A and B are shown apart, each in its own frame.
Chain A
Amino acid sequence: MEIINKKTDTRLSELLLGNEAIAQGALESGIAYATIYPGTPISEIGTCLEKKAAAYNLIYEVSINEKVALEAAIGASLSGARSLVAMKHVGLNVASDPLMTLAYIGTEGGLVIVSGDDPGCYSSQNEQDNRLYAAFSNIPMFEPSNPSECHQMVKEAFVFSEKYKIPVILRTTTAVNHARGFVDIDTSSYEQTEKAFKKNTSRFVPIPFNARRLHKNLVEKISDLERYSSNSPFNYREGSGDVGIITSGACYTLVSDSVAKLSLSDRVSILKLGVTHPLPQTMIVDFLSSMKQIIVIEELKPYLENAIRTIAQKVNIDIGITGKSFANLSETGDYSIDIVEDALKCFFNLRKTDRLSNIKKFSLNVPARHPILCTGCPHRSTYISIKLVYQKNAIYSSDIGCYTLGVQDPIEMTDLFTSMGASISSASGLSLFNKKPVVAFIGDSTFYHSGITGLINAVYNKHNFLLVVLDNHITAMTGMQKNPGVEAAGHNKISIENIVMACGVDWCRVIDPNDAENAFRVFNESKNVTGVRVIITRSPCALMQSRVQESRTVYQVDSTQCKSCNNCQDTSHCSTNKTTEYQFVRADQLLRHSRDTHSKNQYLGKQAPCVEACPVDLCAQGYVTELAAGDFKGALNTIRDQVPFPYSLGSVCHAPCEKACEKANNREAVQIRELKKFAAQKISSFHEDQDFQQRLVNRQLKNDRIAIIGAGPSGIACAYDLLLKGYAPEIYEAGSIIGGMMALGIPPHRMCKETFVGEIQFLIDAGIRFYLNTRIGTDIQLDEIHDRYDAVYVAIGQWQPKLPMSLLESDRVISSIQFFSEHNRGHRHNTLGRVILAGDARALIDITSILLRQGVSVTIVCSEGDAFAERINNGIKWPDTNRDIAIICNSTIETCHDTETGVNVHIHHQLTDVTSVLQADYIISASGQMPDISGFEVLESTEKGHLLIGSGGATNRQGLFAGGDVTGLTGTVVDAMGAGKKAATEIHKYLSTCLNKKTVAYDVGINLLTDYRPQIVKSEIVKSGMDKAAIQSIASKCDGCSACNKCDLCFREMGCPAISMKNGKAFIDDMQCTGCGYCAVICPNMAIKKVILQ
């Protein structure tokens, strides 16, 4: 059959890739139809054919998949058209169904199937050996070893296929496809002739009756073709030695070069096989007979070796055959010339050089250069958006394409992939047996290739997963081939969403992945739907966009906002490294709200309201976000940045942060104090807390000596800050119990005393030195201390009860401080009898609560109104006792007189102006305290007896500072701590400029505390009943108002090649930025801004 008419004849030598040589050979054979599915290593065959299709009157198609391609080519071939089908090795698996029967039917027009194998997996998921397909299907196979052979063999394959009416597999490997060499080509062009299908049911319709005969015919045909193979010029012998090397394809080139290099040409003969199915049996028998030994050198399977062993055994040739597992000849990977050379050296007992150590030396030290998603790749945006919503909780079933690069750090969102289309089908199976959400990823081209059947199966069987179709309008990975989703001349565009809907999917959305806010919303929505959900993320491949434009949009980092923190005065405080989840929670905080109304707009460059309100500058935003991210240890570390006793403060703090939060966000506040308490509830000892120990190790130690007088919250806070700054502060305490008002003033039902003792022990172990029972003025003089230390902080609090005039005449008055102090030491007040309480409302409730528990009857006298009475009577859940409370509101005690049995109290009712008399056993007065500054007379004080301080706590004596309640400027634990911390900063400043330092080391020694076992009541408080999930959900309400200097989201978590770090801030390279803008939308510090470059 003459199907081609040569028009011209021009011969020249051209530098071609193996793939280009295959395409050229096919064109010279006058092919009428070429259909390929692109993939490494054969992609360039398509590129080359596409370019020349018009000139050669060729119908060129990028097929939907390999099976379809082969089946279409069968139709074309049986119509008389010479047809070429090309696919990568795994593609032949897809096409294997028609392949097996095609062998029975055979061809009319020549049909060549190019199978590009990829030993070494340069760009594939496996390294299967497709030579086995030739034997399996009984289809003849040609194996070229260089571009020139590619060209010749394709041409011969078409002639052969047509002559013997059987297809040919042209099997190449990456080394051959990507070899480049000069090929003598013929640039003649041809005109195609008319083609037509001629019916032949007995041949083309393999119903069982026909198939049985056709199979028999096929086996006979292949048997006959052995003669062709033995006579083919592609199978030939080289050399005259008596050691035979049998090889084919790329391995031949390595053998040939090794033989030349080792000067073995007179010792070996090479049998180079180009037609490897059917094998040239006669030729092989001849070869075996004339050799003393045989070595078979082939990559992957022992295909030739096994066949040759069979032949030798059949014809009874007794010869040593060496092959797989000799030297480094393995079944895996591609062969390097060194492997082949070493095998020959080994075989011929030549000295083996030790080069492996050389390889080791360098391969260990050179940083890897893996391929990654491109700058501006829309897949990155898709991945990050999904990570924001599904986090690590989901199982990610992925597929084959550029997006498979999502397996790499930092995206790491590929848990499974096997073959084209499997993401969807495997997601089905995964979703049946896992509680976690399942997300499947598939690219546009792969979806058309073999995703649709899996989708129908999933919908039909009511599976439950999210399918994300990453539609970038192109088959990018294999070199920008078009697919049915792309508008192109001569093609019909096929909409993915229409297919999805037609498959029966109810919930399908199309989004632009770079529009992070919308993507975030839609992915969140998908979480609340069950069944098969589909989101198509549509944005063109970044490589398709021109980067050289006159003016273009890029993004730049505002370094004042990037990695900035306004929360701490001193960002070195912020000790914790933030987790990936933390970074994502921060983006989540941003995206949850519309950008315009977000409180971030208001607080950029300022402190977060919660931090601003906190007297100890505790980064509530930081630890709340860490809790939301599930980093409980990190949250505790953040609290420890500022707070020496996190749990206890979490119990008693009046939480000004929450009030500020409520005001700032105009909604219910985040329960910050509760969160702090939870984070701190699992108290570990200092010896267990590696992070804290490391923090101390990292300090720069200072020699300056600092004394702190008073072990209350203010003194301890001051000591703690100084400890973290590298000092070894020493605390003098007049009493035997550490904690001041926290230990003795706050009733145990408000704060767990046992835990507090544990927290104090932590501080002792960490290196704060305490001297108990050491009262200034009695045990040691202030001057003495001042002499011995470089700086002194006085925080003795106020412990002197302030009794109103009206109570002075009675001896039966107990001050609230005395009461609490006794109570905290474990003293019971059940013998008090009838008690009248007067004074501060909050203290009254605490005292009442304690007394009721001890069976004491209580009468409260207070100036509060009826609302308070109502609260006492009905609003408070009192301890479960027979309660006996009376309340006299709008009243004050006028005077009182002791009697023999008790005290008569005259009570004045303000509203009625009536005075009545009440009898009681005792009066408890909660009218506050004042400081006792005896021993500190050298310091200036106010009229009320408070120490007088300047800014930062400086007193009138240099080096002596004061703060806390003793100055009358603080009233709560956290305020007192704030004063202590401020003093620590001042002392640090003072010491760094102070010239007159004490050089003599001094150790008081005597009262130094090591093991703290105070006489204090046991705890009454039960720990938080909330679990981690509940805490995370509370913490998730935080909006993260201010910036964070530990932010790393764009640099560390996005993996965009355009983003790097410069001078500690993120930096976007103008030249690389494609302007996708995704980073700008998710930047939690709102530091990335759009810029138009001219």
Chain B
Amino acid sequence: MTVKILVTGVGGQGTITLIKLLCQSAKLEGHKVIAREIHGMAQRGGSVNASVVIGGSASAMIGNGDADLVIATEPLELLRNMHLISRKSVAVVCMDKVIPFSIRGNESVYPTTDNIIRTIVSDAGSLFYINEDNINSMHQFRKSLNIYMLGVAVRSGAIPVSSDSFIRVISEYFGPDAASINLQLFKSGYALEMVDVISQDKDDSGYMNPANYQYLLEQEAMTC
């Protein structure tokens, strides 16, 4: 049984770091693992697409509808990869919107948070997202939101690796100072009272009310 994980975002959001942490943690628990990184010109504003497959696959390429987990550090990049998502997919999205240069001066083209959520829930199986308020409240840790998201992703149960293994890998991966902050972020992401947007909100008819999507991830007080 393989677990296919897509990590997507833009340059500087730590997508490649997540790939390395996922690989190391899976390896620690004896899983076979292979990854793939497409980071053409990420430093110059391009997208970053990377994937990990845990559990014995020859390629880390994910087929249409085949992603088990998507961690998107930028929502537009998730929308760009919606074809990889199906009802079996868990999506963890950070609403840290980075306006692409192509729509500058016409920013309204960027989908609203509501529309992003609506689009994801129409295809995905579960959705956990970090909204703008959460992001703002974690302003000083903005560069480490990826680790926080990893905590959320691990908590979602979509990764067949225990949080302890991640904790061990994170403490080894970062230098002593950075490790403690990142560990706290991981733990705080992992400890969230999480509500799956999709299963919570589906009424009998399967209709989802976007008005209820706000503030589903209640941010616990950060003490670090």
Real binding pair: yes
Q: Which residues of A contact B123 (CB under 8 A)?
A: 358
Partner pick for B100 among A368, A409, A543, CB 8 A cutoff: A368
In the complex, the answer to whether A252 meets B58 with C-beta atoms within 8 Å is yes
In the complex, the answer to whether B34 meets A1060 with C-beta atoms within 8 Å is no
Q: Which residues of A contact B87 (CB under 8 A)?
A: none
In the complex, the answer to whether B35 meets A181 with C-beta atoms within 8 Å is yes
Known: A256-B58, A368-B102, A371-B46. A362 touches B80 (CB 8 A): yes
Kindly state the separation between the CA atoms of A261 and B111 in the bound complex, as whole angstroms.
Answer: 35
Q: Which residues of A contact B43 (CB under 8 A)?
A: 374, 543
Chain B residues 88-109 with CB under 8 Å of chain A are 99-105, 109
Kindly state the separation between the CA atoms of A355 and B82 in the bound complex, as whole angstroms.
Answer: 11
Known: A178-B36, A402-B44, A405-B44. A367 touches B65 (CB 8 A): no
Partner pick for A181 among B33, B65, B101, CB 8 A cutoff: B33
Chain A residues 371-396 with CB under 8 Å of chain B are 371-374
Kindly state the separation between the CA atoms of A727 and B103 in the bound complex, as whole angstroms.
Answer: 38
Partner pick for A373 among B19, B44, B102, B111, CB 8 A cutoff: B44
Partner pick for B82 among A180, A252, A358, A373, CB 8 A cutoff: A358
Q: Which residues of B contact A174 (CB under 8 A)?
A: 38
The yes or no answer to A878 lying at the interface (CB within 8 A) is no
Partner pick for B36 among A180, A370, A477, CB 8 A cutoff: A180
Q: Which residues of A contact B80 (CB under 8 A)?
A: 362-363, 366, 369
Kindly state the separation between the CA atoms of A926 and B36 in the bound complex, as whole angstroms.
Answer: 92
Kindly state the separation between the CA atoms of A409 and B66 in the bound complex, as whole angstroms.
Answer: 35
Q: Fill in one digit per residue for A237-271: 1 if any B CB lies within 8 Å of its CB, else 0.
A: 00000000000001011101100110000000000
Instruction: Determine, out of B20-28, B125-133, B148-156, the stretch whose residues face the partner at the interface.
Output: B20-28
The yes or no answer to A347 lying at the interface (CB within 8 A) is no
The yes or no answer to A1061 lying at the interface (CB within 8 A) is yes
Kindly state the separation between the CA atoms of A13 and B119 in the bound complex, as whole angstroms.
Answer: 41
Kindly state the separation between the CA atoms of A150 and B223 in the bound complex, as whole angstroms.
Answer: 46
Q: Which residues of B contact A646 (CB under 8 A)?
A: none
Known: A362-B82, A405-B44, A1061-B105. A250 touches B64 (CB 8 A): no
B66 to A, closest residue via Cβ? A337
Kindly state the separation between the CA atoms of A174 and B61 in the bound complex, as whole angstroms.
Answer: 13
Known: A371-B41, A371-B45. A366 touches B79 (CB 8 A): yes
Q: Which residues of B contact A990 (CB under 8 A)?
A: none
Known: A366-B76, A367-B109, A368-B100. A15 touches B65 (CB 8 A): no
Kindly state the separation between the CA atoms of A145 and B61 in the bound complex, as whole angstroms.
Answer: 13
Instruction: Determine, out of A553-561, A780-788, A1010-1018, A1050-1058, the stretch whose residues face the partner at the interface.
Output: A1050-1058
Q: Which residues of A contact B42 (CB under 8 A)?
A: 371
Count of chain A residues near B, Cβ 8 A = 55
The yes or no answer to B157 lying at the interface (CB within 8 A) is no
Chain B residues 28-58 with CB under 8 Å of chain A are 33-47, 57-58
Partner pick for B101 among A260, A341, A358, A1055, CB 8 A cutoff: A1055
In the complex, the answer to whether B45 meets A370 with C-beta atoms within 8 Å is yes
Kindly state the separation between the CA atoms of A405 and B45 in the bound complex, as whole angstroms.
Answer: 11
In the complex, the answer to whether A15 meets B27 with C-beta atoms within 8 Å is yes
The yes or no answer to B159 lying at the interface (CB within 8 A) is no
Among A367, A543, A1055: residue with most chain B CB under 10 A? A367
Partner pick for A254 among B59, B100, B103, B104, CB 8 A cutoff: B59
Among A338, A365, A366, A402: residue with most chain B CB under 10 A? A366
Taking the closest CB of chain A, its distance from the CB of B1, in whole angstroms, is 11
In the complex, the answer to whether A358 meets B65 with C-beta atoms within 8 Å is yes
Kindly state the separation between the CA atoms of A370 and B110 in the bound complex, as whole angstroms.
Answer: 15
Q: How many A-B residue pairs have CB under 8 A?
A: 143
Known: A180-B23, A180-B34, A181-B35. A372 touches B63 (CB 8 A): no
Taking the closest CB of chain A, its distance from the CB of B29, in whole angstroms, is 13
The yes or no answer to A336 lying at the interface (CB within 8 A) is yes
In the complex, the answer to whether B64 meets A359 with C-beta atoms within 8 Å is yes
In the complex, the answer to whether A358 meets B83 with C-beta atoms within 8 Å is yes
The yes or no answer to B183 lying at the interface (CB within 8 A) is no
Taking the closest CB of chain A, its distance from the CB of B162, in whole angstroms, is 19
Q: Which residues of B contact A362 (CB under 8 A)?
A: 79-80, 82-83, 119
In the complex, the answer to whether A146 meets B103 with C-beta atoms within 8 Å is no
Kindly state the separation between the CA atoms of A684 and B83 in the bound complex, as whole angstroms.
Answer: 53
Kindly state the separation between the CA atoms of A182 and B33 in the bound complex, as whole angstroms.
Answer: 7
Taking the closest CB of chain A, its distance from the CB of B83, in whole angstroms, is 4
Q: Fill in one digit per residue for A10-26: 1 if any B CB lies within 8 Å of its CB, else 0.
A: 00010101000000000
The yes or no answer to A48 lying at the interface (CB within 8 A) is no
The yes or no answer to A852 lying at the interface (CB within 8 A) is no
Kindly state the separation between the CA atoms of A290 and B24 in the bound complex, as whole angstroms.
Answer: 42
The yes or no answer to B10 lying at the interface (CB within 8 A) is yes
In the complex, the answer to whether B83 meets A355 with C-beta atoms within 8 Å is yes
In the complex, the answer to whether B59 meets A367 with C-beta atoms within 8 Å is no
The yes or no answer to B60 lying at the interface (CB within 8 A) is yes
In the complex, the answer to whether B100 meets A369 with C-beta atoms within 8 Å is yes
In the complex, the answer to whether A367 meets B110 with C-beta atoms within 8 Å is yes
Chain A residues 1035-1094 with CB under 8 Å of chain B are 1051-1052, 1055, 1057, 1060-1061
Known: A369-B76, A374-B44. A179 touches B34 (CB 8 A): yes
In the complex, the answer to whether B44 meets A372 with C-beta atoms within 8 Å is yes
The yes or no answer to A468 lying at the interface (CB within 8 A) is no
Q: Which residues of B contact A371 (CB under 8 A)?
A: 40-42, 44-46
The yes or no answer to A40 lying at the interface (CB within 8 A) is yes
Chain A residues 942-976 with CB under 8 Å of chain B are none
Known: A358-B65, A1055-B101. A180 touches B35 (CB 8 A): yes
The yes or no answer to A1007 lying at the interface (CB within 8 A) is no
**Majority secondary structure of chain A interface residues (helix, strand, loop or mixed):** mixed
Partner pick for A1060 among B27, B104, B111, CB 8 A cutoff: B104
A252 to B, closest residue via Cβ? B58
Kindly state the separation between the CA atoms of A536 and B219 in the bound complex, as whole angstroms.
Answer: 54
Kindly state the separation between the CA atoms of A179 and B36 in the bound complex, as whole angstroms.
Answer: 4
The yes or no answer to A175 lying at the interface (CB within 8 A) is yes
In the complex, the answer to whether A367 meets B60 with C-beta atoms within 8 Å is no
The yes or no answer to B3 lying at the interface (CB within 8 A) is no
In the complex, the answer to whether A181 meets B46 with C-beta atoms within 8 Å is no
Kindly state the separation between the CA atoms of A405 and B76 in the bound complex, as whole angstroms.
Answer: 22
In the complex, the answer to whether A257 meets B57 with C-beta atoms within 8 Å is yes
The yes or no answer to B161 lying at the interface (CB within 8 A) is no
The yes or no answer to B62 lying at the interface (CB within 8 A) is yes
Partner pick for A336 among B37, B46, B61, B79, CB 8 A cutoff: B61
Q: Which residues of B contact A145 (CB under 8 A)?
A: 58
Q: Fill in one digit per residue for A149-185: 1 if any B CB lies within 8 Å of its CB, else 0.
A: 0000000000000000000000000110011111000
In the complex, the answer to whether B60 meets A359 with C-beta atoms within 8 Å is no
Kindly state the separation between the CA atoms of A322 and B37 in the bound complex, as whole angstroms.
Answer: 31
The yes or no answer to A601 lying at the interface (CB within 8 A) is no
In the complex, the answer to whether B101 meets A146 with C-beta atoms within 8 Å is no
Kindly state the separation between the CA atoms of A409 and B106 in the bound complex, as whole angstroms.
Answer: 14
In the complex, the answer to whether A179 meets B60 with C-beta atoms within 8 Å is yes
The yes or no answer to A460 lying at the interface (CB within 8 A) is no
Kindly state the separation between the CA atoms of A676 and B62 in the bound complex, as whole angstroms.
Answer: 64
Chain A residues 1-50 with CB under 8 Å of chain B are 13, 15, 17, 40
Taking the closest CB of chain A, its distance from the CB of B142, in whole angstroms, is 10
Q: Fill in one digit per residue for A333-372: 1 if any B CB lies within 8 Å of its CB, else 0.
A: 0001110010000000000010100110111011111111
In the complex, the answer to whether A338 meets B64 with C-beta atoms within 8 Å is yes
Excluding A180-B35, A254-B59, A261-B63, 14 further A-B contacts by CB distance (< 8 Å) are: A122-B38, A123-B40, A174-B38, A178-B37, A179-B34, A179-B35, A180-B36, A180-B60, A256-B59, A366-B76, A368-B100, A370-B46, A543-B43, A1060-B104
Residues of A within 8 A of B (CB): 13, 15, 17, 40, 122-123, 145-146, 174-175, 178-182, 250, 252-254, 256-257, 260-261, 336-338, 341, 353, 355, 358-359, 361-363, 365-374, 402, 405, 409, 477, 543, 1051-1052, 1055, 1057, 1060-1061
Q: Which 4 A-B pairs have the closest CB atoms?
A: A253-B59, A371-B41, A253-B58, A180-B35
Give 18 A-B contacts (CB < 8 Å), ordered by A residue. A145-B58, A174-B38, A179-B34, A179-B36, A180-B36, A180-B37, A182-B27, A253-B58, A336-B61, A336-B63, A338-B64, A367-B109, A369-B10, A369-B76, A477-B41, A543-B43, A1051-B105, A1060-B104
